[in-house]
Structure 1
Amino acid sequence: MPAPKPGGATQPRKKRARSKQEALEATVVVGTYDGGLLGFGLEDGGQTFGYAPHVGCIKAVHCNQEGKLASGATDNAVRLFDLAKRVELGELQEHQDSVSALQFWKGTLITASSDGQVCIWRGGDFELLLKFQGHKAAVTSLAVHPSGRMIASAGRDQRIQLWDLTRGTSAAHLTMKEIVETLEWSPCGDRLGVLSARELLAVQVRTTATASFKDQSSEGFVRINLTAMTWLSSTMLALGDAKGEVQILHNSDDALTQACKLPREAGAASARVKALAICAAHLLVGLSSGEVEVWLMPDKIGAKSPPAWSLDSFKKLRVVETKSRLTCLAVWAPEEASSSKGKKPKKS
C-alpha cells in the first residue's frame, strides 16, 4: 500500500500488516495549511500516516465511528479516506467554493462552503441526497444534533440557522451581533455552544436561556480573540484563545464560570489554539505552531456542581510536534478503544 507523505507526492512503500494494538488505538488527525493530513496514535504520539490530498488550506476534518475521514479545503473539494484500511475513497466535487465546514452523523455526511451552500451525502456510497442554500455568506460551522433530526449552521451573515436534516428546510434562525466561528451541541443535545471572537454562549434549547462568558483580560485596546471550544461533558467546556491558553468552564443554568485554567510552561512560545477535541479521558489542544498537547482529564469531569479543581487537575501527558501549520483536528476512536473509557493511559 502506498504510504503518502505530507506536503508531497505519494511514495511507494512495502505494505505492512497493522498489529491488533494499532487497529484498536485511537488516531488523531491533523489538517494543515498546505493541504496535508497527518495522523498519529493517541497513546504514544507516533505518526501513523502522512497524506497530501489537497492543493489548498484544509479548513475542516471529521471522522465517523467506522473510520471514514472527510476533509474540506480551499480547493473546493471534499476528500475521503478510510483510516481503518489506510486507503483513499475518492473525492466529492459538488461545491463551487472553499469547503469551510463538514461533519458526519452515522450514515450521513454534511458539507458546507464559503458560498453558503450545504450538501447532504449518503455515507455508504456518498451519493448527493440534498443541496440547499444555507446562508447568504460563507458557512463557518456545522453541528448535527445528537438525535440526528436537525443541523445547526453558522455563517458570516451573522445568522445561526436550524435545519431539518432530512428535508433541508429551515426550522428556526437567530441573528447574532458578531460572526459565529464555532457551533457545538452538548453531549445530551440540550444546549448549543456558540463561539465568536469575543464571547462564548451556552444556549438552552427548550428555554432559550443563555449563559455568556467573556475574557475579562480582553478589554479596551487589548483584545484577545477566543478561537476554539468543545464540550467536555453536559456541564463542562474547554475554551481556547489567541494566546494559546485554555480555560475550563462550568455551565450552570444561567452562567458560565471558570473552573480552572490549564497551566502553561514559563517562556512558552505564543501560538493560537486552533482546535480542541476530546477522546475518552483525553483533551487534545491543537496549536497554530503545529504542536498538539495531550492532557489527561480529571475523573469527575461530568460533575453537575462546579468542581474545585487546582492547576494540577489536568495532567499533560505529552506534546506531539507535527512540524506543520495546523488548521484543524479530529479524532477517530474505534469502538474497542472507546470502550476503555476511564482507563488511564501509560505515560510516555
Structure 2
Amino acid sequence: MPPKPSRAQPRKKRQRVKEEALEATVVVGTYDGGLLGFGLKDGAQTFGYAPHIGCIKAVHCNKEGKLASGATDNAVRLFDLAKRVELGELQEHQDSVSALQFWKGTLITASSDGQVCIWRGGDFELLLKFQGHKAAVTSLAVHPSGRMVASAGRDKRVQLWDLTRGTSAAHLTIKDVAEALEWSPCGESIAVLSARELMAVQVKTSATASLKDPSSEGFVRINFTSMVWLSSKMLALGDAKGEVRILSHSSDELTQACTLPKESAAQSTRVKALAACAGRLLVGLSSGEVEVWLMPEKFGPKALPVPTDFNKLRVVETKSRLTCLVVWAPEDQATSSGEGKIRRKE
C-alpha cells in the first residue's frame, strides 16, 4: 500500500508565501495614475497596476497594510498590501484628492477645494466632512496621539483640528505655501516645509527653528521639495537639485550636519519624496529612481552624522514619472528609524 502523501511540505510552502507577502514593501505613485510596489529588502517588483485615470498626488498606508491613493480624478482608491487585493473606491471629493493619511482605524482625506473627510477604517463609512481651508489642501499630518490632525493649504495657513469633532484647535499663518507637514516621532514638534524654508515648531512653547538655503537668494533659487523625520532630533531634507541634506534639530535651531553623497555623473533630478522605515532612508527622484540608504544604527545626541555614516544599498529603476512614495512594513519590522539597533544583514 503506497504511503499517504505528507502535508508538511504544502504547509511550509504556504508559510513561506505568507512570510514573503509580509516583507516590507515600497509603493510608488506615478503621474500616469499607476502604483508600483517593490520589496525594500531586494528591490524586486511585487506588483504594478493603474487604479487612477489621473496623476496620483498622495499615497499612504496603515500598519495592517491598507493602502490609500488619491489622484486628480477626484477618487480615493483602496488596496490591501498584505493580501494583494483591491478594496474599492471612495467618491466624495469634488476636486483632486491632494492629501491623505491613515491613523489606526481612521482615514483622513483632503482635496483641492479645501474639503477634509474623515472615514472609519473598517468599512470606510464617511464620519465627518468639513471645510478645512479656503484654498487647496497641500498636506495632512496626524499627531502620534491621534487627538488632532494638522493640515496645510494654499491659503498660507497651517490648521490644527480636533480629529473627533472637526473643529479648529489652533492655526499658524506663514509667509509661503506649506507643501508638506510631518510630526516628529515624539509628537513635540511639527515640521512645516515650503519651497524656501523648513520650520520645526514646538507645539507647547511655539519655539520655532528655521532653515533657509543661503544660496537661494535673488534670481537663483534652489527649492526645497520634501522632508522626513529620521528621529526626534534628526531630519532629511530634499531639494530641486536632487540633493538630500541631513539636519539636526534643537528647540530653536536647525543645523545642517551633512549631505548624502551624490554621484558626479548623475543626471540632475528633483527629490520628489523621502521616507524612512526600518533603518532605511528612501529617496524618490523625479527620474523614477528610488535610492535605498542604510542609516546609522543610532543618531547620537552629541556627535552629528557624517556622509560615511550612510551607505547606499541599491537604486531601484521604476521607469516611471514618480510623484510620491510610502513604505509599509509589518509592525515587527518597522522599528523606529535611527533610534534603535538596525540589522545590517542584506
Specify if TM > 0.5: yes
C-alpha displacement at 1:339, in angstroms?
Answer: 5.5
Q: 2:33 matched to 1:35?
A: yes
Q: Is the 8 A contact 1:36 1:53 kept in 2?
A: yes
1-structure distance, mates of 2:298, 2:331: 22
* Paired amino acid for 1:33: Y
Contact kept, 8 Å, 2:52 with 2:73, in 1: the verdict is yes
Contact 1:24/1:337 (<8 A) preserved: no
One-letter amino acid of the structure 1 residue matched with residue 322 of structure 2: L
Match of 2:123 in 1: 125
- Provide Cα deviations, 1:66-89, integer angstroms capped at 9, x if missing partner: 000000000000000000000000
Separation in structure 2 between the aligned mates of residue 169 and residue 339 of structure 1, nearest angstrom: 33
Once the two structures are overlaid, the 10-residue window that deviates more, 267-276 or 214-223, is: 214-223
Equivalence map 1:169-318=2 (5 Å): 169-301=167-299, 303-305=300-302, 307-318=303-314
Is 1:147 aligned to 2:145, yes or no? Answer: yes
C-alpha distance in 2 between matches for 1:161 and 1:111? 15
Unpaired segments ≥5 residues, structure 1: 1-15
Could you tell me how far 1:311 is from its partner in structure 2? Answer: 2.1
SS at match of 2:332: helix
Letter in 1 for 2:309: S
TM-score normalised by the chain length of structure 2: 0.93
Q: What SS does structure 1 have at the residue aligned with 2:20?
A: helix
Q: Work out the CA distance in 2 between the residues paired with 1:84 and 1:345.
A: 25
| CA deviations over 1:228-287 (Å, ceiling 9, x no partner) | 001000000000000000000000111000111100011110110010001111000000
Partner-residue secondary structure (3-state), 1:103: strand
Unaligned runs of 5+ in 2: 1-12
For residues 247 and 50 of structure 2, the distance between their equivalents in structure 1, rounded to whole angstroms, comes to 36
Which of residues 82, 94, 97 is equivalent to 2:95? 97
RMSD: 1.4
Show CA shifts across 1:5-59 (max 9, x none).
xxxxxxxxxxx96724413310000000000000000000000000100000000
Percent of aligned pairs with the same amino acid: 80
Bigger drift between 333-342 and 164-173 goes to 333-342
Match of 1:342 in 2: 341
Q: Which amino acid aligns with 2:308?
A: D
For residues 280 and 335 of structure 2, the distance between their equivalents in structure 1, rounded to whole angstroms, comes to 14
Q: 1:173 deviation in Å?
A: 1.1
CA contact (8 A) 2:147 2:162 kept: yes
Q: Report the equivalent of 1:7.
A: none
Letter in 2 for 1:233: S
Aligned residues: 330
